[in-house]
């Protein structure tokens, strides 16, 4: 789980925020509220976790409860992979 | 249609050199390749690069009044010049040309600056009133034609394009960080600001009078959405709109050269083309751009209209690499950073028009603004609808009606879209409600700004500058009208009609004319009940109703597809062009100094790998590339020493007093 968190955080930092500074993002920061991703950016995150963790995200799983922070994402991926 | 330029000494007489006027015109000779004219005395210098459209033999400029005490250099068209001319002649004025320009000189004699209210047209001009020591500069109501100016050593220098001002080596060439902040927020610099420090733009619907060393700028026209007392029937409104559009189209076909039309396949250009066909004798010649990528392509609808109206049509097909190839030229003409590549195909289209021997085209521009055609208006309506019952499970289904044409549609995930559209808007005044999501998203691009730019911007609030541009009446408008007013005051003049309009057409010496932007049509549409502009989520409802019999049902009923072109993808479809690599190199980024190098490099690599699918990255990429090109072309490599003199073989008129 911790490793998923780190991987997801690194992806968001480098590819969405283009940042090095680890402090630029907290694990619980809401992507929507902080304007970290726009509505099209969601699909970018989904495409990343699908490839990186070899999972498939269904349309009805595309909800903020699953995807809106590093912690939520990690939890979601963790459940999907069953690890 | 032409390019104008000039110099006015504010306080005292100082010699004005014809050579300076020549240089100012030579660099904008794409606006007027047919010849040049100059006037100078001790106080004022006027220059004119001419694209001959009306009175081909006699219409040379600058033009003067009967006793040569009033001189004008004029860019644009006065469409009602025939009627104005008749009235002026009956009042005793004598004309020495058949041009539209000359009516302004005589109108000015009779009415002074009030002459503006008689003009139906698209224009920017400067009048030198020698006897009264008054220099009068004006722009049309919605800003179809451009006018830039700056002050240097006690003189005001003005021109149709900024590059013309830069031919004077005393004018500094520096990017304005505050303009950059505005562009990476509102998609445009807020006039009078431009992308360059101390270079100003006369706002649309304004005029300037310089006299006794003093410069005064006044607004003479604005949109008024205040509802009218009496309400007519839907049928009456539809009929009235049709009559107005027929007349404004008819007026816009006045020219001594053949006039063509753009035909995009959308309803607006289809309306204009159909009106030309049905109500005028103008032979119908149409042009369009098509895309290799079918996401952006509207060829099916174009073909429908071509068959329906039986027009003589020419199409240019645009690929990703075409956009990348022309992009540096695009920025040379836009003279501002842009966040989308959409101007590029229009530049190719105007070249097609010119190559086919046409100088003038009618287009459907302006309809989306005045008749509420854009998605941003629907979005605002949907957001209001969702807010009325935030817990509703059914209401979010309406989101499916937004963006059905986009591959990466934000509405693919309903839950997500709902969350996105329900963002907190409490930090903004209600007048900005419609535009907050767009501005909020765009402002995230500022994460790429360098520390230097961020320091300069410290505490700057761009909304304060925006509010200066707006009439206080906005607060009394209904929310759809508020949204339309904002869209017109921000993007119409300072992006759509400039970066995507005037500059792309004039770059290839082509003049665009816009029947929807006849001020009578605009004023009529502003007074329409809002639900006739957008009924539930049907955009341009009244236009569809009034044109029902003129267009095929499939054109009337199709969902609006906004005009777009592929963004970052264009630059990496084939081999990456050298200039793209160069503009994103550490060195070039350092020289420009506006963007943080490491983050920008990361963005570049992400786009190169094709991983940037969202709006934000794409806008950032195009915004940074265009800013870098702007710096490169206008600051690093501006051709100060290699400026071509004007082509001596072209006809020239020089008047020295």
Residues A27-54: pLDDT tens digits? 999 998 888 887 677 888 888 999 999 9
Question: In 3D, which of B655, B509, B646 has the Cα closest to residue B36?
Answer: B646
Please give the tally of structural domains in chain A: 1
Q: Which residue of A has its CA nearest to B610?
A: A44
Which pLDDT score, from 0 to 100, does residue B353 have?
Answer: 97
Task: Tell me if A62 and B598 make a contact (CB, 8 A cut-off).
Answer: no
Chain B positions touching A37 (Cβ under 8 A) are 614, 616
Please tell me the distance in Å from B148's CA to the nearest CA on chain A.
36
Q: How close does chain A come to B435, measured CA to CA in Å?
A: 15
Strand-by-strand arrangement of the B155-159 sheet:
B200-201, B148-152, B155-159, B2-9, B44-50, B35-40, B652-656
How far A20 CA sits from the closest chain B CA (Å)? 9
Say yes or no: A26 contacts chain B, CB-CB below 8 A. Answer: no
CB pair distance less than 8 Å for A32 and B423? yes
- Per-residue pLDDT of B544-583, as tens digits, reads 999 999 998 888 888 777 777 778 999 998 888 999 999 9
Please report residues of A whose CB lies closer than 8 A to that of B606: 15
Q: Is the pLDDT of residue A77 over 90?
A: yes
The dihedral through the CA atoms of B27, B31, B36, B38 has a sign that is negative
How many residues in chain A? 83
Which of B419, B606, B614 is opposite residue A40, by nearest beta carbon? B614
Say if A37 is an interface residue toward chain B (CB within 8 Å): yes
Interface probe for B, chosen from A11, A36, A40, A73 (most Cβ of B below 10 Å), is A40
Relative to beta strand B155-159, strand B44-50 is: unpaired
Name residue, tokens 């230097």: B452
Residues B72 and B134: beta-carbon distance below 8 Å: no
Residue in A with minimal Cα distance to B599: A18
The ipTM, to two decimals, is: 0.87
Q: Which domain holds residue A65?
A: 2-81
Predicted local confidence at residue B424, as pLDDT: 59
The residue assigned the tokens 């005490």 is: B69
How is B92-152 classified by DSSP, letter by letter? T---SS-SSHHHHHHHHHHHGGGGGGG--EEEEEEEEETTTTEEEEEE-TT--S--EEEEE
Please report the sign of the dihedral spanned by the C-alpha atoms of residue A50, residue A54, residue A56, residue A61.
Answer: negative
- Could you say which of A20, A39, A67 has the minimum Cβ distance to residue B410? A39
Alpha-carbon distance B73 to B636, whole Å? 31
Q: In sequence order, which residues have a C-beta less than 8 Å from that of residue B322 and are 6 or more positions away?
A: B344, B345, B348
Query: Residues with Cβ < 8 Å from B467, sequence gap 6 or more?
Result: none
Predicted pLDDT of residue B100 = 94
Contact A40 B613 (CB under 8 A): yes
Q: Which residue of A has its CA nearest to B444?
A: A35
Provide the pLDDT for residue B640.
74
Evaluate whether B37 touches B654 at the Cβ level (below 8 Å): yes
Residue A33 with chain B: CB contacts under 8 Å: 423-424
- Best of A31, A39, A63 to substitute, by most chain B Cβ atoms within 10 angstroms, is A39
Q: Please tell me which of the candidates A35, A40, A63 has its beta carbon nearest to residue B615.
A: A40
Searching chain A, which residue's CA lies closest to the CA of residue B448? A18
CATH of the domain at A67: 1.10.1200.10
Question: Is B279 within 8 Å of chain A by CB?
Answer: no
Interface test with A, best of B598, B614, B623 (most A CBs within 10 A): B614
| Residue A58 touches partner B, C-beta closer than 8 Å | no
In this prediction, residue B426 carries a pLDDT of 59
- Tell me, yes or no, if A35 comes closer than 8 A to chain B by beta carbon: yes
**Interchain contact B423–A (C-beta under 8 A):** yes
User: Helix, strand, or coil here: A36?
Assistant: coil
Whether the Cβ atoms of residue B629 and residue B331 lie closer than 8 Å to each other: yes
**Residue of chain A nearest B601, judged by CA positions:** A18
Optimal mutation site among B413, B445, B564, B624, interface A, most CBs of chain A within 10 A: B413
What would the DSSP string read from start to end of B271-319?
Answer: HHHHHHHHH-----EEEEEEESSTTT--HHHHHHHHHHHT-EEEEEEE-
- Residue A23 structure tokens: 């402090």
Express the helix, strand and coil content of chain B in percent, nearest 5 each. 45, 15, 40
Tokens 């060393």 -> residue: B213
Q: How far apart are CA B78 and CA B596, in angstroms?
A: 47
Q: B124 with B149: CB under 8 angstroms?
A: no
The full set of domains in chain B, from first to last, is: 2-171 (3.60.20.10), 234-371+497-557 (3.40.50.620), 568-636 (no CATH)
Kindly give the residue spans of alpha helices, DSSP state H, lying in B586-645. 586-592, 597-608, 615-631
Q: Which alpha helices (H) appear in B335-396, and where do they start and end?
A: 343-355, 367-370, 375-387
- For residue B407, the model assigns a pLDDT of 55
Closest C-alpha to B448, from B181, B173, B635: B181
What pLDDT score does B224 carry? Answer: 96
Q: For position B261, what pLDDT does the model report?
A: 96
Contact B413 A17 (CB under 8 A): no
Dihedral angle sign, alpha carbons of residues B280, B559, B373, B226? positive
The span from the CA of B567 to the CA of B447, in Å, is 19
pLDDT less than 50: residues of chain B: none
């Amino acid at each position: 789980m911790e490793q998923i968190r780190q991987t997801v955080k690194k992806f968001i930092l480098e590819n969405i925020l283009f940042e090095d500074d680890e402090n630029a993002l907290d694990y619980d920061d809401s992507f929507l509220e902080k304007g970290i991703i726009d509505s099209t950016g969601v699909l970018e995150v989904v495409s990343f976790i699908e490839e990186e963790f070899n999972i498939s995200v269904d349309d009805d799983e595309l909800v903020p409860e699953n995807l809106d922070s590093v912690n939520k994402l990690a939890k979601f991926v963790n459940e999907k992979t069953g690890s | 249609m032409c390019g104008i330029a000039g110099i006015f000494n504010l306080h005292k007489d100082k010699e004005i050199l014809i050579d300076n006027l020549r240089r100012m015109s030579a660099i904008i000779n794409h606006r007027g390749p047919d010849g040049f004219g100059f006037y100078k005395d001790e106080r004022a210098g006027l220059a004119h690069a001419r694209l001959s459209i009306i009175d081909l033999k006699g219409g040379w400029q600058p033009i003067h009044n009967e006793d040569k005490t009033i001189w004008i250099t004029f860019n644009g068209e006065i469409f009602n010049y025939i009627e104005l001319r008749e009235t002026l002649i009956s009042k005793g004025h004598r004309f020495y040309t058949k041009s539209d320009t000359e009516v302004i000189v005589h109108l000015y004699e009779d009415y002074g600056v009030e002459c503006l209210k008689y003009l139906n047209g698209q224009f920017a001009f400067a009048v030198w009133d020698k006897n009264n020591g008054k220099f009068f500069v004006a722009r049309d109501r919605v800003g179809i034609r451009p006018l830039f100016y700056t002050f240097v050593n006690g003189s005001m220098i003005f021109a149709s394009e900024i590059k013309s001002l830069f031919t004077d080596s005393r004018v500094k060439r520096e990017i304005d960080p505050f303009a950059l902040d505005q562009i990476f927020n509102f998609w445009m610099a807020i006039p009078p600001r431009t992308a360059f420090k101390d270079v100003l733009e006369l706002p649309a619907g304004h005029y300037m009078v310089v006299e006794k060393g003093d410069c005064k700028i006044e607004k003479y026209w604005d949109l008024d959405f205040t509802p009218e007392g009496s309400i007519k029937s839907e049928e009456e409104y539809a009929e009235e709109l049709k009559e107005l559009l027929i007349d404004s189209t008819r007026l816009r076909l006045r020219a001594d050269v053949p006039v063509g039309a753009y035909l995009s396949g959308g309803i607006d250009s289809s309306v204009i083309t159909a009106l030309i066909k049905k109500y005028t004798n103008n032979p119908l010649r149409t042009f369009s751009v098509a895309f290799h990528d079918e996401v952006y392509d509207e060829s099916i609808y174009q073909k429908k209209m071509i068959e329906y109206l039986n027009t003589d049509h020419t199409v240019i097909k645009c690929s990703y690499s075409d956009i990348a190839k022309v992009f540096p030229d695009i920025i040379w003409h836009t003279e501002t950073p842009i966040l989308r590549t959409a101007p590029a195909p229009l530049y190719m289209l105007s070249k097609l028009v010119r190559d086919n021997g046409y100088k003038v085209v009618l287009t459907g521009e302006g309809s989306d603004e005045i008749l509420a055609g854009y998605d941003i208006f629907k979005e605002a309506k949907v957001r209001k609808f969702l807010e009325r019952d935030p817990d509703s499970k059914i209401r979010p289904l309406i989101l499916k009606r937004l963006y059905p044409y986009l591959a990466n549609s934000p509405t693919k995930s309903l839950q997500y879209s709902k969350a996105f559209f329900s963002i907190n808007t409490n930090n903004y005044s209600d007048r900005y409600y419609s535009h907050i999501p767009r501005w909020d998203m765009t402002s995230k691009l500022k994460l790429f700004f360098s520390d230097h730019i961020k320091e300069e911007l410290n505490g700057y609030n761009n909304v304060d500058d925006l509010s200066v541009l707006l009439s206080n009446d906005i607060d009394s408008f209904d929310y759809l009208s508020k949204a339309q007013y904002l869209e017109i005051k921000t993007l119409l003049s300072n992006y759509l009609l400039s970066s995507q309009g005037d500059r792309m057409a004039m770059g290839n010496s082509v003049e665009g004319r816009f029947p929807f932007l006849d001020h009578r049509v605009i004023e009529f549409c502003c007074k329409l009940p809002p639900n006739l502009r957008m009924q539930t989520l049907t955009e341009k409802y009244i236009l569809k109703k009034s044109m029902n019999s003129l267009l095929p049902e499939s054109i009337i009923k199709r969902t609006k597809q906004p005009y777009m072109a592929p963004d970052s993808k264009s630059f990496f479809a084939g081999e990456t062009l050298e200039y793209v690599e160069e503009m994103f190199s550490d060195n070039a980024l350092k020289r420009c100094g506006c963007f943080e190098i490491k983050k920008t490099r990361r963005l570049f690599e992400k786009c190169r790998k094709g991983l940037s699918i969202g709006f934000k990255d794409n806008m950032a990429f195009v915004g940074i590339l265009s800013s870098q090109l702007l710096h490169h072309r206008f600051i690093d490599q501006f051709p100060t020493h290699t400026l071509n003199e004007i082509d001596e073989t072209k006809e020239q008129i020089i008047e020295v007093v």
